Amino acid sequence: MRAQTKAIWMALPLTGALAVSSVQAEEVNIYSYRQPFLIEPLLEAFTAETGIEANVVYGDGLVERMETEGRNSPADVLITPNTTILMSAYNKGLTQAVDSDVLTDNIPAQYRADDNHWFGLTTRARIIYASKERVEPGEITTYEQLADPEWEGRLCTRSGKHSYNLSLFASMIAHHGEDYTREWLEGVKDNLARRPQGNDRAQVKAIYEGVCDISLGNSYYFGAMLTNQEAPEQQDWAQSVNLIFPNQDDRGAHMFISGIALSEHAPNRDNAVALMEFMVSPEAQFLYAQDNFEFPVRPGIERSELINEYMGEFKEDPLSLTTITDHVDEASRLVDEVAYDF
């Protein structure tokens, strides 16, 4: 039944007729930037437990769609892979606060909005991938060292303008200030083995091929590569690197979240809050994090066997993601000033 409802709902125009689904009893309407394989097991478990049907629209541009739909939007919740999209929805006035002890008691403060307009569901770290053959253990242990001259011609990254890098760069501003971060970015750029290109996996491939010795990448890509049966060559890429969680002797590794927010005009508000609370239940946290080799946002939840084997415990930067996001525009400007991508 849910698949049929979803198909009909997705085929409707952006406004007007979409409101039809919102009058159906016991349902929740989800706009999701995350892929189906990541959230469908959770939604099936939620429906089995509560009887509430979950209708989903997947894709990009969903914040803009919500903005266009306005009060007619059927969206109850927005699920995203990062803070940037959550903040975009928040800044456009498309979210509302949720007063829930279940959420605030189980999600650390740095991974939710100060005013409870958005909440993290899983976390991942921005780590350093290092060649097993050409980088000695302990040779690089911090983000700051990425700018050291010894790494000249040995570093690969994706575009400095990508949200993953902008978030890291923004955290550097928050910790060290703008002047330091500009100088650091200039040093990082000087150390690049090639012009920034590709995604995080492409950087690990470049290490495997000898183009560079270290790269920046999100932690969950390691599990995705190591278990990739459709492109088994990626298993070789993953096996060629060690994983370095930076700054373990001081602030800890820079963290990201996938997250969720309640729509400003949620037609099924109570059902939506029930879904949000379910998403931080022990069952949902384990399922959601394991499927993409991420870390549960709720403390004390068992992690996947692969993560335990290859990553272990590590120190997380406790800096609020709200604070980091406040510096993203500055970080983007610095990327332009140092011509990082050119």
How much is the pLDDT for 307?
Answer: 86
Query: How confident is the prediction for the chain on average, in pLDDT?
Result: 92
Contacts of 205 (CB under 8 A, 6+ apart): 198, 234, 237
Mean pLDDT within 273-294: 94
**pLDDT at 276 > cutoff 70:** yes
Residue 5 has pLDDT above 70, yes or no: no
What's the pLDDT tens digit per position in 113-159?
A: 999 999 999 999 999 999 999 999 999 999 999 999 999 999 999 99
Neighbours of 10 (CB within 10 A): 13
Q: How many whole angstroms from its chain centre is CA 44?
A: 22
CA-to-CA distance for 27 and 2, rounded, in angstroms? Answer: 10
Q: What percent of the chain has pLDDT over 90?
A: 86
Mean pLDDT of all residues in 162-174? 96
Domains, the chain, ranges and CATH? 2-122+256-302 (3.40.190.10), 124-253+316-337 (3.40.190.10)
Q: Give the list of residues 6+ apart from residue 62 with CB closer than 8 angstroms, or none.
A: 31, 32, 33, 75, 78
Does residue 243 surpass a pLDDT of 60? Answer: yes
Q: Which two tokens stand for residue 319?
A: 């800096």
Per cent of the chain over pLDDT 70 is 93
Please list the residues that pair with 240 across neighbouring strands. Answer: none
Question: What's the confidence (pLDDT) of residue 54?
Answer: 97
pLDDT at 29: 98
Q: Say whether pLDDT at 280 is over 70.
A: yes
pLDDT of residue 308: 86
Q: What is the pLDDT of residue 25?
A: 56
Q: Could you tell me if 105 and 280 are in contact, meaning their C-beta atoms sit under 8 angstroms apart?
A: no
CB 126, CB 256: distance < 8 Å: yes
Res. 7: pLDDT tops 50: no
Please, what is the end-to-end C-alpha distance for the chain in angstroms? 51
With 0-12 CB in 10 A as exposed, 13-18 as middle and 19+ as buried, what is 106?
buried
